[in-house]
Amino acid sequence: MQITRRSLLSMVGATAMLPTAAWAGTPSSAETERAIGSPQAPVTVMEFFSLTCTHCAEFATVTMPKVKANLVKTGKLRLVYHDFPLDQVALKAAQVARYLPENEYYPFIEALFASQNDWAFQEGEDYHASIFKYAALAGMDQATYDKAWNDEALAKWILAGQQEAETTYQIDATPTFVINGKKYPGAMDYDAFAALVTKAAKA
Q: Residue 126 class from Cβ within 10 Å (0-12 exposed, 13-18 middle, 19+ buried)? A: exposed
pLDDT at position 3 over 90: no
* Section 84-104 average pLDDT: 96
Q: When comparing pLDDT for 17 and 106, which is higher?
A: 106
Give the whole-angstrom CA distance, residue 52 versus residue 101: 22
Residue 77 has a CB neighbour count (10 Å cut-off) of: 25
Asked if 92 and 127 count as a contact pair (C-beta separation under 8 A), the reply is yes
Rounded percentage of the chain residues whose pLDDT exceeds 90: 80
Q: What is the pLDDT of residues 35-83, one digit of tens each?
A: 999 999 999 999 999 999 999 999 999 999 999 999 999 999 999 999 9
Domain 43-202 is found in CATH 3.40.30.10: yes
Asked if 196 and 183 count as a contact pair (C-beta separation under 8 A), the reply is no
